[in-house]
Structure 1
């Protein structure tokens, strides 16, 4: 990594809180009421999960996002403070982003996002983005509205950029600026009729040379310099309890490999190991695999 960088990965956006509701099954059958286990609210949305995962792998990580002056914001601030992850926050008048996650017995989840907390005018201050990105080796951009205005700023700086498009269907225009402005693109294959076609369109139209489409227990698709390969799944070390944060963990594991000079196939293995581990962490916790455990599991997977 560049010796002049003070930050290995700057994470933009994606801070918030989730309220976890464990339900008997998904889809949840209609009923006037359901009796469920304890309902808990904890800090941790996509940017938080990615920052925690990167930090756990020993990368110097900094998180920049908008936060409200509210209880939810306090939870996010406490998460970063307790983990020792630097957080630069910008006031968000509408309040900290929040969501309700319905989690089934098999670990699948359905997220209900509160769209009232963000407005089209919300953005990260360009000068703050320039200052932090200018001393960062890499920037990972969350798929949230305040980050969209930062994409041209990052392009001007010439810093490498990654993003996660989550369950993009390959058509929704909201996702395209993020996809086309990134050097490395992660996404889920869940909503894609033809993952390879979407992945190749991203490389044809944008600057990315690497695209990774995760596909749950089936592994992932890995497109590097025009060559598509399948990434085999890695068996979770303990039973699967929740898939929340698995994609963020995969991205963090992949970035760890990329920033430490590993070959693409090795980066993908790191991502698969980290993602599998994340599926064993209960939804009410925000824990990630450490560097030692990741390297040991990767070595075991390659035999």
Structure 2
């Protein structure tokens, strides 16, 4: 059984058979609220802290993807099927893990990226967000100088410019192989996302899957930001002081639009 600060496992009163691993974004936090919401609808829900604990990187860099595979292993002993839900950096992990673990029958990505991004170590050196078998995954670096705009800072242009400036071979190497995900994929993004242009990127991801003959669900709302609020969730106010876009009402509207698709993909109980 997991416990804080490493994670939480919430078992439902009326199981639907789905085990869901919930992966937070750049905070790396335990997303207890979302795990409990899913458990209320029948899922066995786990959320883990994926950096900052003993034996883990201090930040979102050089994080072993095996961290998430091990969590899925635990869920697999309890459930009939496996799914992942990730947000932002956590959506990177969700798509990457789901692409190489055929046990995952559904992947839900909030504010996702089509590529792996650079992570910055405490000494300022640049590496990948993720490793596999001890080796950093190919990643997209930031353009130099890459300065966010506004107060609080918005990084949307930084990410968009970095992707546009990257060499085609660099982009190809860093691209997440979403076409390898055999299960259902649901992509959710706000049109006012000020962290990065996830509203454009969900179309990039969906096209890649369509070209491979894979079905994908895309849910967007023009005025929503980086953080989607699902029905029954509280607005999350923690995290770095950066611009995320959206409004509480718009973010909740996107959550209401997305919820039926999550219920179907995860086979939840209403």
- The normalised TM-score by structure 2 is 0.44
- The normalised TM-score by structure 1 is 0.40
Q: Which has the larger radius of gyration?
A: 1
